[in-house]
A and B are shown apart, each in its own frame.
Chain A
Amino acid sequence: MFKYIWKKEIQGELYTWKSMLWLIIASLLFSFTSYLLLTNKELSLLDQTELMLLLGQIIIGVALLIVAIDASSIITTEFEKETAESLFLAPLSIKDFLLGKFLASLTLWASIFIVSLPYIIVASLGSGLTLPFIGYVAFLGTLGIAGFISFIFGVSLFYRSTKNTITTSLIVLLILATPALFSSTLKNNAPSQFFSKINPVDNMFSSLDNVLVDYKTAILENWQFILPLIVFCLLMAGFLVFATKRFKNQGIIKND
């Protein structure tokens, strides 16, 4: 049954010109960044691997932002348009409903990743790191974005309002993304280092740095970044399970 929801969302979300516009905006951002990085005389004096890292961070950052906005509305619109009631009257479990929506949000990430592939290939030509670059952007991006989608879905079931869900999601994203962009010299005290170790955005960027700048391409060499990301995904999945149980107890029509 989740396949029906997934297909419906892909047709309703990705098949429309409004959703395609997100991909065009993403591609324009990647075009501008890669052209600037690879042709600007002073910026291009940076090491190629540093340019690749910057491009990788931009790809994951743009994808996080677009998917966060999309995931914030994908569930809540069912409540706001009052279509949730008829959906749950059909033989559809909440698990299938969430799984279908989850896969639809991941499909948006997959589309952004596919759009970013030519830029990744062009930026990494001659570096010998094209495959690790593609692999790690896909792997880290999928892990991080899956965790964020679970969190946003949980928040959606709590709020049932697009405005509140988008605001909360963007604030959380901002809180996590801003310190991840700080240089290591600003993270030399214990609280910053601790936050950096548990911050999923920081772990995604640090792992990319480890692969592209330090040439540590093996999974085991990146385990210290991947493990917190897996823990983040599991915690967010737990949060979604909790929010789903609470939603089931409250019923489709919230009585509070």
Chain B
Amino acid sequence: MKKITIFLLSTAIFLLAVNVFAKSVSPALVLDISSSKTLSGTAGDFVTVEGTITNSSSQPLNNITTYLSLADNDSKLPVDLEDWSAEKGLYIGTIDAGQKLPLNWKIHFVKAGTYSLIIVAEVAGNELPQVSSITQFQVSLKRNLNPGQVLPVALGMPIVLTFILFILSYKRRVDE
């Protein structure tokens, strides 16, 4: 009797461990950022983040929402996507077993820096989200459109006009 109890307990623990292990190594959804190599650019550029979502399970999954998560590597803070992308979340709905769907986000590089990007997917009823691997990209600084040319004009025009004003006033006084 004692042997049977030990056997049953061992079997239960083994099955539980297999179940946990299976869940950790083969998630139901696989996310991937396919445009990771072409993401870097200059502040002001518009780029498209391309990714895929695959249902690797044998069951269809319902109510799936995907969204981007962006973090600034320098400040170690998450970035507010308000200015970066008009399309914050993409609602997938149902994805059939084995089905692979493309994901696209058009984003606007607002500020220079190094960033980490991941795609997150939430399945209704699941406690844990699924995430893609982290993609690092660089946004280089765009100082302005023409700093070298606007400054002389911006400073020069009022100065030139003031100079003309003084000449005219002087000439008028001399004429009188």
Contacts and interface: CB of A to CB of B under 8 A. Distances in A.
Contacts of A51: 145
Contacts of A122: 146, 149-150, 153
A122 B147 CA distance: 10
A89 interface: no
Contacts of A40: 144
B153 A20 contact: no
B165 A38 contact: no
Contacts of B154: 31-32, 34-35, 119
A2 to B, nearest CB: 24
Contacts of B161: 20, 23-24, 27, 115
B144 A17 contact: no
Interface string A110-127: 000001001100110110
A133 B142 CA distance: 25
A125 B148 CA distance: 12
Contact of B153 (A24, A118, A126): A118
A41 B144 contact: yes
B128 interface: no
Contacts of B153: 31, 34, 118-119, 122
Interface residues of B, number: 27
A119 B157 contact: yes
Given A27-B157, A41-B144, A118-B157, A21 B165 contact: yes
Name the prevailing secondary structure of the B interface residues: helix
B144 to A, nearest CB: 4
Contact of A20 (B110, B111, B150, B164): B164
Interface in B137-165: 142-147, 149-151, 153-158, 161-162, 164-165
Given A15-B168, A17-B168, A39-B144, A28 B149 contact: no
A51 B108 CA distance: 17
A77 interface: no
A44 B165 CA distance: 33
A41 B42 CA distance: 12
Contact of A30 (B43, B157, B164, B168): B157
A42 interface: yes
Interface string B109-149: 01100000000000000000000000000000011111101
Nearest to B157: A27
A45 interface: yes
B35 interface: no
B110 A31 contact: no
Contacts of B110: 42, 45
B11 interface: no
Given A27-B158, A31-B153, A34-B153, A44 B168 contact: no
B169 interface: yes
B171 to A, nearest CB: 9
Nearest to A126: B146
Contacts of B172: 15-16
A38 B158 contact: no
B165 A20 contact: yes
B157 to A, nearest CB: 4
Listed from nearest, the 4 A-B pairs whose CB atoms lie closest are A31-B154, A35-B154, A39-B144, A20-B165
26 contacts: A15-B172, A16-B172, A17-B168, A20-B161, A20-B165, A20-B168, A24-B158, A28-B158, A30-B157, A34-B150, A34-B154, A35-B154, A38-B145, A38-B146, A39-B145, A40-B144, A41-B143, A44-B143, A44-B145, A45-B110, A48-B145, A51-B145, A118-B156, A122-B146, A122-B149, A123-B150
